[in-house]
Amino acid sequence: MTVASRRAALTDRVVGSVTVAAGVVYSAFLATPLLGARLDPGRSYVSELAALDQPHSAVFRTVDAVVGLVVVLAGGHVVRRGRVAAVRGAGVALALFGVATLLDVAAPMTCAPSADAPCAAAEASRSALAFGVHEVSSLLANAAAIGAVGLLAVARSRDRGADQPASPLEGTLLVGLALIASSGLVVVLEETVGLGLDAVVGWVQRVQVLTLSAVLVTIGLVIVAGSRWSRR
């Protein structure tokens, strides 16, 4: 192995490991009972924890900012190192997910609708088309995550060949793709047209966020084992 190859492999390991850590940190909402958060997990969105009227909002905005920056870095790394179009496309989508997460941090909710009646009334009075920066960035994050996972799953499937069994990483990506897409669709429909799921939509979104965390960890592991998808 040449010096350049060793350096590239080391970079893969560093970027991949940091991405794994970001994936773990992205599930920080699991720590809300320890922080004494009072939001109903069934009725509240995870993003409400970062609303400006919540006691620990700065903590969750900081977590999202760190994750967003790491994911943008990881996406750029995948674009630069990817040897096939599907992998490079996944890197672009991953970077867009990071940018959307940073936009969420820059434009947080001013209040938590599930815990504030006037805030909920203001949200309910808006037209379904009256999206703000936060809503747009959330939609972009979901679409980008689906794109990144789908393209990586396709790339790994093509890489292993039709006669080889799927790897655990590939299986995780495919399951993650289905969960992110289905739960994301439920959340978007509940926010726009209403499905009568206001008592459980918070749980649906928490499944989605946990899935995104697992997917980020998986993508980090794919980057660590980058010899199969990256340029040398």
Any domain includes 99? yes
Q: Which two tokens stand for residue 55?
A: 């006691």
pLDDT (tens digit per residue) in 54-95: 888 899 999 999 999 999 999 999 999 888 888 899 999 999
Any domain includes 232? no
pLDDT of residue 177: 79
pLDDT (tens digit per residue) in 142-185: 888 888 888 887 777 666 554 555 567 767 777 877 888 888 77
Q: How far apart are CA 232 and CA 226, in angstroms?
A: 10
Of 93-107, 165-179, 197-211, least confident by mean pLDDT is 165-179
Domain that holds residue 52: 3-111+128-154+170-225
Any domain includes 160? no
Long-range Cβ contacts of 23-26 (<8 Å, 24+ apart):
23/212, 23/213, 23/214, 23/215, 23/216, 23/217, 23/218, 23/219, 23/220, 24/213, 24/217, 25/63, 25/66, 25/67, 26/63, 26/67, 26/209, 26/212, 26/213, 26/216
pLDDT of residue 62: 94
Q: Determine the residue type at 69.
A: L
Any domain includes 116? no
Any domain includes 212? yes
Say what the pTM is.
0.84
pLDDT (tens digit per residue) in 111-143: 888 877 788 776 666 544 445 667 778 788 888
Q: What is the mean pLDDT of residues 24-46?
A: 86
Any domain includes 119? no
pLDDT of residue 15: 92
How many domains does the chain divide into? 1
